[in-house]
Amino acid sequence: MVRIRLKRTGRANRPCYRIVVQDIRSRRDSPALDILGTYEPLKESDAVSLDAERARQWIAKGAKPSEKVAILFKKAGVALA
C-alpha cells in the first residue's frame, strides 16, 4: 500500500517537511517514490507548496494521505475523493 506523508528535513528546531509518496512499510527517511511538495510550519500562514495535479494522480492510483497531509491538501484545495 502506498501512503502520502511528511518526511522531515531541515535542522534542529527549524523543521521543514517534504510531502512524499512512500510505501507504508518503509521508514520516514527512506527514499521516496515521488516528491509532491514542501511544508514549512514556522513560516507565516504555514507555507505549503504542492503539485496538485501529481497529488490527484497518486490519489487516483490508490495512495492514501496521512491525517496531517489530508489537512494540508484541504488548505491547498486538492480534492481527496
Structural domain includes residue 81: no
pLDDT band for 70, please (50, 70, 90 cuts).
very high
pLDDT at 25: 92
Nearest to 4 by CA among 78, 75, 65: 65
Sign of CA dihedral 39, 69, 73, 22: positive
CATH of the domain at 64: 3.30.1320.10
pLDDT for 29 equals: 81
- Count how many domains the chain has: 1
Predicted local confidence at residue 81, as pLDDT = 60
What DSSP character marks residue 72? H
- 8 Å CB contact between 24 and 3: yes
Three cell numbers written together for 39: 511544508
- 6-59 residue pLDDT tens: 999 989 999 999 999 999 998 878 899 999 999 998 887 778 888 889 999 999
Q: Which domain holds residue 64?
A: 2-76
Q: Answer whether residue 34 is part of any domain.
A: yes
pLDDT at 38: 93
Q: Which of 80, 81, 61, 30 is nearest to 18 (CA)?
A: 30
The reply to whether 57 falls in a domain is: yes
Res 78: pLDDT: 77
* Of 38, 6, 41, the residue nearest 21 (C-alpha): 6
Q: Answer whether residue 22 is part of any domain.
A: yes
